[in-house]
Amino acid sequence: MPTYLHDPKVVGEPRPASEPVLRVEKKRRLIGKLAPAILIAWITVDLVSRSISPSLLNVDPWLTVSTFPARYVPFSADKSFVIQRYVGGNARAANAQPTEVVGPIVFSTDHRGFRKNPYLRSEEIPEVLFVKGDSFIYGVGLSDNETLPAVLTGQYGISSYNGARFHDDPDGMPEIDWLLGHLPGRPTTIVYTYLEHGVFLSPEVTPGINGMILRRDPDLDGDLRYLKMLNMFFWQMSPTRIVATRFFNSLENDKIFPNQGAKTIQSLALPSGDKLLFRDYEYELATLDRGPAAVARSMTGFRWLKSELDRRHLRLIVLLLPNRYTLYQPLLTRTDAPWAHYLDNVDAALHKEGIETVNGLDYYRAAAQQEVNNGQLSFFREDAHWNARGVRLIAKPLAEAIRGNTPAAQERARNAIQ
């Protein structure tokens, strides 16, 4: 028989694997066994760690209680947290060393699942219900007694219920009607807080599939937004994700890795040398078309809301709140532009529609120069929200409007008599 027939290279007989190949195969099998075990361990640690106090991870309490709220409320009910040290969201977004730290902050929710007003008794009928305004009204960076509804109640004797929600929560008429039905009695006034960077569209002009659902079934729209919110917060509030994110952020220090967060932030220097940090949705207002067309779009929402509240025999007051960039950028750069007067134009359009307003831009703009000079601002430097000083500044003119001590309110009273 020819010799070549016994050659394994010719007849295809298996050759013994080399030592390196065996080691690689062994590692692959080991990884294959370890991967499921690591995944199970990660899920176990993540789920167990969700039960610990958020203060141990220094997690914002208003985020923690947003994780699993009931359908028509923004927060879990009857919760209370104390956070000793709060760092502004813009400083964290920039992955920067904070220069402005506040605390301790007491954050509590009532038995319904809304931010607690410590001056409002649980079964007291509120005169005023606050809606919209998101984190400004429920009070990021503020203690229970520092929110706007609390200041109105404690300082001005106007019983106010804080019905504000997280900005991604469902917040249409079904949610307002649910809250009206679960209060001890019906308020007489709705304060709708409009944030400058938002656009308020009526259901009739809301585009796309969202608009279609909103027009046909507002409750379904709220249900879908609620499910989306639950999914978002479940992942966003993962303790293992939080720890891992903070670890990698610590490496992005421009020494080990570039600081990517700094690219998303713009800053303006105060005369003191301290810096105001702005996120994209703040400083990008200067690049948007905020002219008559933008005002007209938002007016569709205000007209719709006024019609809905009129049917329910509720008075509407719109509180217009400016963006920090609108307030301080013209002063610090000695410039002015039409975009900075968007709220003035919205205010004028609301007055033409007979809708009462309190234009926060007027009051903050009047105080801004002095604030810039002495460094005592109405807003946090390293966070997008107002501080306790800013709340107190706007509480007085809002109280006067609620009590009818403004020209618009007096005109409304005369029209009602006629």
Nearest to 59 by CA among 35, 95, 83, 78: 83
pLDDT at 116: 98
Strand partners, 359: 320
Instruction: Say yes or no to pLDDT of 417 above 50.
Output: no
3-state secondary structure of 174: helix
Helices (H) and strands (E) in the chain, counts: 17, 11
Strand partners, 358: 319
Are 71 and 223 contacting, i.e. CB atoms less than 8 angstroms apart? Answer: yes
Q: What is the pLDDT of residues 29-83, one digit of tens each?
A: 767 777 788 878 878 877 777 777 666 667 777 777 777 899 999 999 999 988 8
Give CA separation, 90 vs 94, 95, 143, 152, 253, in Å: 6, 8, 19, 28, 16
Residue 83, phi-psi category: left (phi > 0), alpha (psi -120 to 50), beta (remainder): beta
Q: What is the pLDDT of residues 143-168, one digit of tens each?
A: 999 999 999 999 999 999 999 999 88
pLDDT at 54: 63
pLDDT at 7: 52
Least confident stretch, 195-199, 337-341, 411-415: 411-415
Q: What is the pLDDT of residues 274-322, one digit of tens each?
A: 999 999 999 999 999 889 999 999 999 999 999 999 999 999 999 999 9
Q: What is the pLDDT of residues 322-352, one digit of tens each?
A: 999 999 999 999 998 899 999 999 999 999 9
* Dihedral sign from CA coordinates of 50, 53, 58, 60: positive
